[in-house]
A and B are shown apart, each in its own frame.
Chain A
Amino acid sequence: DTGVSQNPRHKITKRGQNVTFRCDPISEHNRLYWYRQTLGQGPEFLTYFQNEAQLEKSRLLSDRFSAERPKGSFSTLEIQRTEQGDSAMYLCASSGDSTGGTEAFFGQGTRLTVV
Chain B
Amino acid sequence: AQSVAQPEDQVNVAEGNPLTVKCTYSVSGNPYLFWYVQYPNRGLQFLLKYITGDNLVKGSYGFEAEFNKSQTSFHLKKPSALVSDSALYFCAVRVPSGGYQKVTFGIGTKLQVIP
Residue with the greatest number of chain A CB neighbours at <10 A, chosen from B41, B44, B99, B108: B44
Residues of A close to B107: CB separation below 8 A:
40-42
Contact between B105 and A103, CB atoms less than 8 A apart: no
Contact between B105 and A31, CB atoms less than 8 A apart: no
- Minimum CB–CB distance from A88 to chain B (whole Å) comes to 14
Closest to B104 in A: A45
Residue with the greatest number of chain B CB neighbours at <10 A, chosen from A31, A45, A48, A102: A102
Q: Give the CA-CA distance A101 to B32 in the complex, in Å.
A: 11
Which residues from 44 to 76 on chain A have a C-beta closer than 8 Å to any C-beta of chain B? 44-45, 48, 55-56, 58
Which residues from 57 to 88 on chain B have a C-beta closer than 8 Å to any C-beta of chain A? none
Contact between B101 and A31, CB atoms less than 8 A apart: yes
Task: Tell yes or no: B43 within 8 A of A by CB.
Answer: yes
Chain B: interface size category? 20 to 34
- Minimum CB–CB distance from B110 to chain A (whole Å) comes to 10
Residues of B close to A101: CB separation below 8 A:
101
- Minimum CB–CB distance from B29 to chain A (whole Å) comes to 16
Q: Name B43's contact: one of A31, A48, A58, A109 (CB within 8 Å).
A: A109
Residue with the greatest number of chain A CB neighbours at <10 A, chosen from B100, B104, B105: B105
Closest to B48 in A: A103
Which residues from 37 to 60 on chain B have a C-beta closer than 8 Å to any C-beta of chain A? 41-46, 49, 51
Residues of B close to A104: CB separation below 8 A:
44, 46, 103
Residues of A close to B103: CB separation below 8 A:
33, 45, 104
Residue with the greatest number of chain B CB neighbours at <10 A, chosen from A40, A42, A93: A42
Q: Give the CA-CA distance A109 to B43 in the complex, in Å.
A: 7
